[in-house]
Structure 1
Amino acid sequence: MKYADELNATTLGQLAEGDLDAIWVPGFHSPPQCQEVLPRVVAACERSQYTLTGDFQSIGTSMGEAAESAAGQRRYLDTAAETLDLIRYEIFAGRLSPLDELRLLLDELWPAGATVARYGNRMMLPGIIRRWPAGGHANPHIDQRDIPLLAGQHLRRRIGTNIYLEVPPSGSGGQVDFWALWTDEGAYDSRRRADYGLDRDELGEPHWSCEPGQGDLLMFDAARVHGVRRVDHGSRVTAACFLGVRDPSEPLVLFA
């Protein structure tokens, strides 16, 4: 995989066009600030109920849950503002969160700016926090564009974005693995597990593995099959969102 270690107008454009596979920026957010919020993250995660899998915890209703049913979509839209307030004012205590920091930077770097995605006149959730405690993992998967909530966005590309608030000790799991890109979502659907994602054992060795550090930013094409290795010790916490890429003359849209 071809990746850049700096987020700027050039590398963002290359990632949006598929000329780069990833952007991996070490220390995008201050590690001491990441460390300071972790007790509040753990408390909020322990209160949350993620419905798709027990492999990790998620604060707020995710896009994946919204895609499962009409009730999930309503819950996603109804709770978006509440989840944003929880992340912004309870977890980050009014300090600029890394998700807000990223959105401001993207607004400056992309020719048409960046904004929160909307469904009709309703705000979609612009960011989410996830935690993988010891034993947690994520099956290999892609993040699909062809879901009802995104139909009106007319996306050309969906960029997965993670800022690492906590990482396991080196060699203790939590790495992000990447396999080949499938442009046809139907090919993915035909091989999906009953719960979610794909069987890792059937995919063979990943083409690339990334072991981010605390505070790092990782951005990648979410149509590429990717998964998280099982956390053996410690925990893995990310502040995450997606960037929806449309025409360069249109703003990037953020959602989670």
Structure 2
Amino acid sequence: MALYESENKSNLLDYYYSNSLSNIDEMRNILSPYLSPIDYFRCQLDEQWPSGAKLESFHGKKMFVGLSRVVEPEVTFLAHHDIVEKDVPNNYSAKSIQMQLAANVHIQVPDIGGELLLWHKDITANDFDSIRGDSYGIPPNNLGDPDIVVKPKAGQLIIFNSRKMHSVSAGKNKSRVSLSCFIGYRGEHQPLTYWS
């Protein structure tokens, strides 16, 4: 379960937090005897960033990291943005994040399609919500041509600004499998944090 799926409802947040660490362990067990790519990424981030990096805890509890996604052929991810202040409004820790990045480790990618589409265009959270209605996103064609198109390779890590509009094109011949998390930046002298 990802944080955004809790919809800031207390019962769903309780469920999210009560399963966060066990879900991390479950992913490690699934990947054993191999190292989880997310664990490796977390370790590298902690070692490379001067102030280190750690699991986020918006409500004083350790959060889940390492969301796995399997996108079947012919499925397009609608264009959307990810802004943590929308997921946990009125939370000082979430509001203190100056930049939110998305990190995706690609495990398997389709030979045709499956590109990451990125737009520089800013859409306010309120405007986006009114355009999308009950859906999680909007058709990518509504935004015009993307400013950046990235064709991931298996084993590749891609990091981008999740507060900008992004989408994934449909793959053609096999599933697109990835592990992902967000990275929160609060300033040069603050630790980075991560969550899913």
- TM > 0.5 between the two? yes
Q: Distance in 2 between matches of 1:231 and 1:72?
A: 32
Q: Distance in 2 between matches of 1:75 and 1:62?
A: 11
Q: Which residue of 2 aligns with 1:115?
A: 54
Q: Once the two structures are aligned, what percentage of the paired residues are identical?
A: 26
> Alpha-carbon deviation of 1:72?
2.4
* Structure 1 contact 73–149 (Cα < 8 Å) conserved: no
Deviations 1:1-40, CA, capped at 9 Å, x for gaps: xxxxxxxxxxxxxxxxxxxxxxxxxxxxxxxxxxxxxxxx
2:169 to 192, 207, 229: 229
> Alpha-carbon deviation of 1:181?
3.5
Q: Distance in 2 between matches of 1:183 and 1:204?
A: 13
* Correspondences of 1:42-121 after superposition (within 5 Å): 61-67=1-7, 69-89=9-29, 91-121=30-60
- Normalised to the residue count of structure 2, the TM-score between the two structures is 0.91
> Alpha-carbon deviation of 1:190?
2.7
Q: Distance in 2 between matches of 1:130 and 1:217?
A: 14
Provide the aligned length of Structure 1 versus Structure 2. 193
Q: Distance in 1 between matches of 2:90 and 2:3?
A: 9
Secondary structure (helix, strand or coil) at the match of 2:84 reads coil
> Alpha-carbon deviation of 1:68?
5.5
Which runs of 5 or more residues in structure 1 are unaligned? 1-60
1:156 aligns with 2:98: yes
Q: Which residue of 2 aligns with 1:137?
A: 76
Asked which structure has the greater RCO (Cα within 8 Å, sep 6+), the reply is 2
Q: Which residue of 2 aligns with 1:22?
A: none
> Alpha-carbon deviation of 1:133?
1.5
Q: Distance in 2 between matches of 1:150 and 1:126?
A: 22
* Correspondences of 1:174-253 after superposition (within 5 Å): 174-182=114-122, 184-253=124-193
* Structure 1 contact 143–223 (Cα < 8 Å) conserved: yes
Compared CA separation, residues 208 and 150, structure 1 to 2 (3 A): farther
Which runs of 5 or more residues in structure 2 are unaligned? none
* Moved >3 Å (runs of 4+): none
- Normalised to the residue count of structure 1, the TM-score between the two structures is 0.70
Q: 235-244 or 224-233, which moves further after superposition? A: 224-233
> What residue identity is the alignment partner of 1:220?
F
* Structure 1 contact 193–199 (Cα < 8 Å) conserved: no
Compared CA separation, residues 71 and 230, structure 1 to 2 (3 A): farther
